[in-house]
Amino acid sequence: MAAPEMSRLEAWSRPESPDLALAPLAADLPARLAAVAPRVVVVGDAVLDQWLTGPSRRLSREAPVPVVEVDHTHGSPGAAANTAANLAALGARTEFVSVLGDDADGATVREVLAGFGVGTAGVVTDPSRPTAAKRRVLADEALVARFDTSSREPLDADRRAAVHDALRAAVEGADAVVVCDYGGGIVDDETVALVGSLLDAPGERSCRLVVDAHDPARWAPARPEVVTPNAGEAKLLLGRELGGPDRVAAAEAAGPELRERSGAASVVVTLDRDGALLLPDDGSPTHRTFARPAPEANTCGAGDTFTAALALALAAGTPAATAVELAQAAADVVVGRPGTSVCGTGELAERVAAAEGPLLDAASLATIVHDQRVAGRRVVFTNGCFDVVHRGHVASLNQAKRLGDVLVVALNSDESVSRLKGPERPLNPLADRAAVIGALSCVDHVTAFDADTPAELLDLLRPDVYAKGGDYTPEMLRETATVTAYGGRVVILDYLPDRSTTSLVDRIRSGS
């Protein structure tokens, strides 16, 4: 527990779960997070997402519209309710605080949430307002209409007091609070003040506050750990578009301003097809994820899943960059399916394992790189031992990816690592190192080499850019002559001091 005089922002930097403080993104991470089972409170606007599907064989006589013969109706929790369902499916002990109408739609949301194991003791019933619902009509899997039911009227005094009482009861002892504020009238400025005061109470300073809101500036007084604006919400925060041809670069440049206006310690800007960008304020480099392409019709609810996985990982003490990678992987799971969907622990583990990909031999990789170059893509190559992956590695790989379109990482074989680092290294065998590196969304292909330098591999692949991390200059690298001989470019990546596997191993062995 944080000391009483410590600010909540300082306490947030202290991981609650030492076992996860250095956890890499690997296939076993989702199960480890589920085993921790952090207690998470979700507060915000609930929606029933309903899908009416069936064939269409004719047009209506009343108007040139298809007649859909509905043969299947499916309801899913939406908005904050979907975030709560995803958290529970990923292993969090989840409590939901919201307001539902006294109607069939409200009953459906409660029933579905109970099925996921979400606690609904904090859900208040308001007979005066309908449960918000979004109904989509699909004809042969094509969306032809959507009709919504909603109420944006503020709650009356009695219902407002009931929500606040439920919030007070739920937050006590929680590891994280997730706010989903989409303008539905469930939260107001009093709620912002209440959440801030509850988390500033003695004993609650280690509770994370993650905010997903249409107007993130509204939550600045509560000083969130993370806000997750999309491009439109970032525009609202800044009062301008994320201008220029490169939205990622524009968001990165606006990082300090986004943090200041949102009051957040870190900002994660979600950019749909362009992935997400973590903008921390602790001196760490920005970190970008790379999204799995998907049709727009399949992205419904992906943001809720992203927020849920992010909050779960942060609540368990996982480093922010790893948490964002895990969140991207969870979103990639649900965009692969139609409708509003939920990502479970097993599915997330499968996705991370699949992203690890095979350890390619040189000949197979040469064919792939050739095809990528023919397609007009810029190939970036980097290499290293990557024995115990730390923040410096992740930052360098993220920076390398942004130099082109395809990132190839070549790992020193176990024998090569031993020659370079000593007989006690590597700590992790090649297959494990490849699995961890390959799971990062910025890495496209992983291979290995047995020599002391990758010069022979570089000559075979001929990447457009050879990127090297560390305290080097191009003149210090033996590979520079190989790269310049075929017309490639050598780029030295930013160096993050005091971040190395050797120093980390030394600290562990010394007990410090």
Among 45, 49, 212, 304, the active-site one is 304
CA torsion 223-278-297-302 (nearest 10°) is -60
Q: Hey, what long-range contacts does 221-224 have (CB within 8 A, 24 or more apart)? A: 221/192, 221/193, 221/196, 221/263, 222/192, 222/193, 222/195, 222/196, 222/263, 223/8, 223/9, 223/196, 223/263, 223/264, 223/265, 224/179, 224/262, 224/263, 224/264, 224/265
Q: Which single residue is written with the structure tokens 């583990």?
A: 349
At 428, list the tokens. Answer: 């992790």
Greatest distance between any 2 Cα atoms in the chain = 81
- Which residues, 6 or more positions from 80, have their beta carbon under 8 angstroms from its beta carbon? 42, 43, 44, 45, 46, 47, 96, 98, 180, 182, 186, 304
Token pair in block for residue 331: 């979103």
Those residues with Cβ within 8 angstroms of residue 376's Cβ, 6 or more apart along the chain or in another chain: none
Q: Are 248 and 287 in contact (CB under 8 A)?
A: no
End-to-end CA distance of the chain: 21
Question: Is residue 483 a contact partner of residue 490, using CB atoms and an 8 Å limit?
Answer: yes
Cβ atoms of 130 and 103 closer than 8 Å: yes
- Classify strands 133-139 and 142-149 as parallel, antiparallel or unpaired: antiparallel
Q: Give the CA-trace dihedral at 203, 323, 504, 15, to 10 degrees.
A: 0
Q: CB count, 10 Å around CB of 19?
A: 12
233 marked as part of a ligand binding site: yes
Q: Identify whether 102 is a catalytic site residue.
A: no
Task: Say what angle helices 320-334 and 391-401 make with each other, to 10 degrees.
Answer: 50
Q: Where are the alpha helices (DSSP H) in 8-92?
A: 8-12, 29-36, 80-89
Q: Sheet of 46-54: strands edge to edge? A: 72-79, 46-54, 133-139, 142-149
Confirm or deny that 231 is annotated as ligand binding. yes
Query: So which residues are the catalytic ones?
Result: 304
Residues that constitute the known binding site for ATP? 230-233
Q: Which residues are annotated as a binding site?
A: 230-233
